[in-house]
Amino acid sequence: EHPYGHQRAENIGAKVISFVIFYAGISLLIESVKRLINGQYNVLEGFIPLIAAILSVAGKTFLFTIEYSTGKKTKSQAMVAEAKNMRNDIIMSCLVFVGVILNKLGLAWIDPLVSVVMSFIILKVAWDVFEENAHELMDGLYENEMWIYDRVFDVCKACGAYNPHKVRIRKIGGKFDIDMDVEVDGNMTVKQAHEITKCIRKRLGDSKDIYDVVVHVEPEGNNEKEPYGLSQNSSNSANGNL
């Protein structure tokens, strides 16, 4: 039913989180603007709000550090998204801390203004989480991930394959899924050609960053108009234009 596994569920979960964050940001923005327009300023009394803000920053910073590092280590997009949401809470708690101090100084109107700033921060986080996971769901790679193509070309050369082309790489569950065509000597037996593909798959598959490798063999000099994917020449041209 799902031949590529269920790793993309992480991206879907992260996108759901982004919608929840976006809703929270919009709700806070609307409410804060209403308070500014209507002049609804709350004067805070006592030091409990100040202490609560300090404890909130300390606790959420501790939780963010654990969740973010765990998410990066396990390549869990949903956990990273939740950690970013928590980072957003830390920023908000810091703004609340500043707002409480200014409120104590008689600047009660600062409170809804701080809330407006907080709402825009929330919306920015929502967009970042959405964009990052939409990019991966659309099988895109970022510039700092393009090194994987050079790795593929180097392995193909070392294993005796020619002209790696139609190379298509996407990420599944934080790992690279590789699909490519290579050329071999047309006089080779099927067994000899298969040994080359085994070499390529083994050398690439030994890396913890690789999810799966599929290699299609063609005779050397095969000339077909094949859309999509990169060849070594097109990859070098693209890198030269960066």
- For 28-42, the pLDDT digits (tens) are 899 888 888 887 666
pLDDT reported for residue 241 = 41
Instruction: Tell me, yes or no, whether 98 and 20 share the same domain.
Output: yes
Residue 152 scores a pLDDT above 80: yes
Which of 137, 165, 193 delimits the end of a domain? 137
pTM above 0.75, yes or no: no
pLDDT reported for residue 105 = 74
* Total number of domains in the chain: 2
DSSP, residue by residue, 195-240: HHHHHHHHHHHTSTTEEEEEEEEEETT------SSB-HHHHHHHHH
CA distance 180 to 104: 65
Write down the residue that tokens 């920023």 correspond to: 91
Instruction: Tell me, yes or no, whether 148 and 70 share the same domain.
Output: no
CA distance 40 to 114: 13
Q: Is the Cα dihedral 16, 19, 21, 27 positive or negative?
A: negative
Instruction: Tell me, yes or no, whether 159 and 127 share the same domain.
Output: no
91 or 103, which is more confident? 91
Domain containing 225 equals 143-240
Residue 222 scores a pLDDT above 90: no
Which CATH number does the domain housing residue 34 bear? Answer: 1.20.1510.10
Instruction: Tell me, yes or no, whether 119 and 188 share the same domain.
Output: no
Instruction: Tell me, yes or no, whether 60 and 43 share the same domain.
Output: yes
What average pLDDT score do residues 66-81 get? 79
What average pLDDT score do residues 137-158 get? 88
> What are the percentages of helix, strand and coil residues in the chain, rounded to 5?
65, 15, 25
Instruction: Tell me, yes or no, whether 96 and 62 share the same domain.
Output: yes
Instruction: Tell me, yes or no, whether 131 and 188 share the same domain.
Output: no
Tell me, yes or no, whether 60 lies in a domain.
Answer: yes
44 or 35, which is more confident? 35
> Band of the pLDDT at 54, cuts 50, 70, 90?
confident
Token pair for residue 34? 């209403």
Tell me, yes or no, whether 3 lies in a domain.
Answer: no
Which of 137, 168, 183 delimits the end of a domain? 137
Instruction: Tell me, yes or no, whether 156 and 131 share the same domain.
Output: no
Which of 118, 137, 156 delimits the end of a domain? 137
Q: Which residues pair with 167 in a beta bridge?
A: 230
Residue 159 scores a pLDDT above 80: yes
Strands 210-219 and 175-184: parallel
Residue 153 scores a pLDDT above 90: yes
Tell me, yes or no, whether 156 lies in a domain.
Answer: yes
The overall average pLDDT reported for the chain is: 82
Tell me, yes or no, whether 2 lies in a domain.
Answer: no
Residue 10 scores a pLDDT above 80: no
> Band of the pLDDT at 234, cuts 50, 70, 90?
low
> Band of the pLDDT at 46, cuts 50, 70, 90?
low
Tell me, yes or no, whether 1 lies in a domain.
Answer: no
Q: Is 4 helix (H, G, I), strand (E, B) or coil?
A: coil
Instruction: Tell me, yes or no, whether 93 and 172 share the same domain.
Output: no
Tell me, yes or no, whether 77 lies in a domain.
Answer: yes
Instruction: Tell me, yes or no, whether 127 and 195 share the same domain.
Output: no
pLDDT reported for residue 44 = 59
Tell me, yes or no, whether 24 lies in a domain.
Answer: yes
Instruction: Tell me, yes or no, whether 63 and 152 share the same domain.
Output: no
Read off φ and ψ for residue 152, nearest 5 degrees.
-60, -45
Q: Is the Cα dihedral 28, 71, 142, 7 positive or negative?
A: negative
Write down the residue that tokens 């599944």 correspond to: 172
pLDDT reported for residue 235 = 59
Read off φ and ψ for residue 135, nearest 5 degrees.
-60, -45
- If we measure between CA atoms, which residue out of 240, 232, 238 comes closest to residue 161? 232
- For 171-208, the pLDDT digits (tens) are 887 789 999 999 999 899 999 999 999 999 999 988 88
CA distance 46 to 61: 25
pLDDT reported for residue 5 = 66
Tell me, yes or no, whether 42 lies in a domain.
Answer: yes
Which CATH number does the domain housing residue 187 bear? Answer: 3.30.70.1350
Instruction: Tell me, yes or no, whether 45 and 122 share the same domain.
Output: yes
Token pair for residue 206? 């030994």
